[in-house]
Amino acid sequence: MIKIIDFGLASLFRNETTHDEKLLTTYCGTRPYISPEVYSRLPYRDEPADIWSSAIIQIFMLTGNLPWSEPSDKDRSYQLWFYGRYDNDPWKKIQKMIFDLLRHTYEIKMCRMCRDLRHI
């Protein structure tokens, strides 16, 4: 059984009147699971950061391994993934169709993150 909880860290990220999304600044989470912008302490969008974390959980469920210790240039496994090197664990344990889905999730996330950072 897996339980996923946020320990009361939920946040309102949309203005109730205008429905505009606000960027969050709270640094929270466990290093292997948090998105690069949360790890870097940059303002971030809530939903993409949650999608990133859920993809890490999926990788762990599929392979029994976390892909990296932290999403930073200091982590060799993260560097390999960032530069498109998928011939190491946990990537080589994942079937191609599932891998493509996870990779696409990250590609969308990275594109949105780059777009969002241009507006800061």
- The CATH code of the domain that includes 60 is 1.10.510.10
Please classify residue 40 by burial: count the beta carbons closer than 10 Å to its beta carbon, then call 0-12 exposed, 13-18 middle and 19+ buried.
middle
pTM of the model: 0.72
- Gap between the Cα atoms of 117 and 120, Å rounded: 5
Q: What pLDDT is attached to residue 47?
A: 82
Query: Do the domain assignments include residue 78?
Result: yes
Q: What pLDDT is attached to residue 69?
A: 95
Contact partners, residue 25, CB within 8 Å, separation at least 6 = 41, 43, 44
Q: Encode pLDDT of 68-118 as tens digits.
A: 999 998 999 999 988 888 888 788 887 777 777 777 776 655 555 555 555
Residue linked to tokens 């606000």: 22
Please answer whether residues 42 and 48 qualify as being in contact, where contact means their C-beta atoms are separated by less than 8 angstroms: no
Query: Do the domain assignments include residue 57?
Result: yes
Query: Do the domain assignments include residue 26?
Result: no
- Could you tell me the residue range of the domain that residue 113 belongs to? 36-118
Listed residue (61, 54, 62) closest to 95, CA to CA:
62
Q: Is the pLDDT of residue 32 over 90?
A: yes
Query: Do the domain assignments include residue 103?
Result: yes
Buried b (16+ CB within 10 A) or exposed e, 49-71: bebbbebbeebbeeeeebbbebb
CA distances from 52 to 19, 36, 70 (A): 23, 9, 13
Q: What pLDDT is attached to residue 81?
A: 86
Please answer whether residues 34 and 53 qualify as being in contact, where contact means their C-beta atoms are separated by less than 8 angstroms: yes
Query: Do the domain assignments include residue 108?
Result: yes
User: Domain count of the chain?
Assistant: 1
Query: Do the domain assignments include residue 29?
Result: no
Q: Encode pLDDT of 44-75 as tens digits.
A: 888 888 888 888 888 888 888 899 999 998 99
Query: Do the domain assignments include residue 92?
Result: yes
Query: Do the domain assignments include residue 73?
Result: yes
Q: What pLDDT is attached to residue 119?
A: 47
